[in-house]
A and B are shown apart, each in its own frame.
Chain A
């Protein structure tokens, strides 16, 4: 009973959906204010998602139906599992088992992977174009995130549990050191690319390939993708805070979360969209050496 409550209400699905929807709204509102617009009301994202579940579901004739239907649901449920792991560590101060950092890392790859598969299975040329771009994007951003995770692991002396990483940062967060700061910046760029926000939104690129991966999705299945996105707005900033900035938790989480959302929004609104090959170059030849530098600094103890 307690487990079910933890999984579905607090700190599981409903709580994180509420928080994530509000975080998404803050981002949309900030974007609107950057452009001197008024912006949507606070409940807009909830209404959008709810509306999608009332719409008719169209399944394209030529698509590979099992994968087309399964991929939004799988990506949604894997994010829900990640939320269980991270919120247990953040709010209830306990790890479910040792080495749950690795599980979280793998489960965070799953949604992107199934978005790609969904795009490929929908039998639309624009969707497969978007999916191919997302593959390139994934090869670059996950690669960078591994280097920034290695910095965390060196600093935590090989402790792979989320709870252990939090307890090590009680007195001094990893963000305070030079290598930790570089790794945090890399993590922030990873977050931007993972959410598909503007400099890295080649896979959806509204003006170029319409909605890219999501072009054939509509109705409830698109609703599942939007739910995944809302949950991403909750979990990815919190994961970053957990890894690098976990000195004061509790109510301090709110302003840390808002600062990260503000940073994302500023990056989003001051940059144009990069080309897919430029993104790969940016990640591999600019950010990867930076990541190596951070690892060396971390080994030396800075």
Chain B
């Protein structure tokens, strides 16, 4: 652990990728920015451009179409960046596993740093997951 990681974890800029989710996890992610949870007090910001990203927050089970875009987005993000899978679909494809358009689970495509299961996970669960990620990086 160095100064670099410590600084990185103090200001995580999050890019949100919705890879075919049912919108439930997306709503929970937006909840994090509301006055009740306010993640900006930890320096976490939701940003619009992939070039500014430190964290890729991925929701939804990947289907054929979003998989291509996801790979592209991962290569576009400046490293070091972390990948966080939010929701049961992203972690394990859940009930969509036998579907015709499912390709592979997320961690067989890109390296995943953190899994947050739940359908959808509560905002508290997402915050506690981010804290675990920060502890893991700083160790």
A residues near B (Cβ < 8 Å) are 28, 32, 35-41, 44, 47-48, 50-51, 54-58, 206-207, 210-211, 214-219, 222
Question: By the criterion CB–CB under 8 Å, are A51 and B49 in contact?
Answer: no
Contact of B51 among A28, A39, A41, A58 (CB under 8 A): A58
Report if B8 contacts A (CB, 8 A): yes
24 examples of A-B residue contacts, CB within 8 angstroms? A37-B35, A37-B41, A38-B38, A38-B41, A40-B40, A40-B43, A41-B41, A44-B11, A47-B7, A47-B43, A51-B8, A55-B79, A56-B79, A56-B80, A57-B78, A207-B48, A211-B47, A211-B49, A216-B51, A218-B52, A218-B53, A218-B78, A219-B78, A222-B52
Distance in Å from the Cβ of A123 to the closest Cβ of chain B?
A: 13
Question: How distant is the Cα of A211 from the Cα of B45 in the complex, in angstroms?
Answer: 13
Q: Given the complex, which residues of B lie within 8 Å of A216, measured CB to CB?
A: 49, 51
A218 near B51 (CB under 8 angstroms)?
yes
Looking at chain A's contact residues, is the secondary structure mostly helix, strand, loop, or mixed?
loop
Chain B interfacial residues counted at CB < 8 A = 21
Nearest chain A CB to B3's CB is how many angstroms away?
9
List 15 other contacts, CB 8 Å, given A51-B8, A218-B51: A40-B41, A44-B11, A44-B43, A47-B7, A47-B11, A51-B7, A55-B79, A56-B80, A58-B76, A206-B48, A207-B48, A216-B51, A218-B53, A219-B51, A222-B52
Residues of A with C-beta under 8 A to B80: 55-56
Interface: B65 (CB within 8 A)? no
Task: Please determine whether B40 and A37 come into contact, CB atoms closer than 8 angstroms.
Answer: yes
Complex CA gap A128/B38 in Å reads: 33
Most buried by A among B38, B51, B52: B51
A162 to B53, CA, bound (A): 42
CB distance from B113 to the nearest CB of A (A): 16
Asked if B4 is an interface residue, CB under 8 A from chain A, the answer is yes
* Known A-B contacts A39-B40, A44-B43, A50-B7; A217 and B51 likewise in contact (beta carbons under 8 Å): yes
Measured CB to CB, the closest approach of chain A to B56, in angstroms, equals: 13
Q: How far is the CA of A136 from the CA of B41 in the complex (A)?
A: 35
- Quick check: B51 and A32 within 8 Å, CB to CB? no
- The answer on a CB contact under 8 Å between B35 and A211 is no
Contact of B10 among A38, A47, A56 (CB under 8 A): A47
Shortest CB-to-CB span from A196 to chain B, Å, is 14
Please tell me which one of the listed residues A28, A50, A218 contacts residue B49 in the complex, with CB atoms under 8 A apart.
Answer: A218
What 1/0 flags go to B11-46 for Cβ under 8 Å of A?
A: 100000000000000000000000100101101000
Q: Which residues of B contact A55 (CB under 8 A)?
A: 54, 78-80
